[in-house]
Amino acid sequence: MSDFRHPVRVYIEDTDAGGIVYYVNYLKYMERARSEWLRAQGITQRVLFEQGIQLVVHRLECRYAKPARLDDALEVSAEVLSRGRARLQFGQVVTRRGEPLCEARVDIACLDAERLRPRSWPAALAERLATPSAQSQA
């Protein structure tokens, strides 16, 4: 499946005293890319929330290769690697001019917001996920 890409600029608030991106901010960049991927599928977090659905990170595996610095223009990908009834696994990479800086596999679970128990994807999203072209929106 093709991947979605989202641009990010590194601001002073993202960095430590040395002007290097603080490690947890890569995860924030990835979260933004997944949210924008969802929006590109025609669904927003607000709509899911109104339907009593919450998306949560279930598992995360991350590898840091090189640092990003203040003012860098980055690109964050979000590619669906696999899906289940109530789970999506994303492959994500933060790059600078095509060079990988941070890579992750992120498992997202779809939960009933009230009971905090797994639930099936809403019909509209399940339909989009079943269409291979849905993955390749940029």
Catalytic, 16? Answer yes
- Whose tokens are 């696999």? That residue is 82
- Contact predicate 129/86, CB 8 Å: no
- φ/ψ of 57, rounded to 5, equals -75, 125
Distances (CA, A) of 99 to 54, 65, 76, 82, 114: 33, 10, 11, 24, 41
Cβ atoms < 10 Å from Cβ of 109: 18
Q: Which of 3, 14, 16, 71 is catalytic?
A: 16
Strands (E), 87-127: 87-96, 99-112, 117-118
Catalytic residues: 16
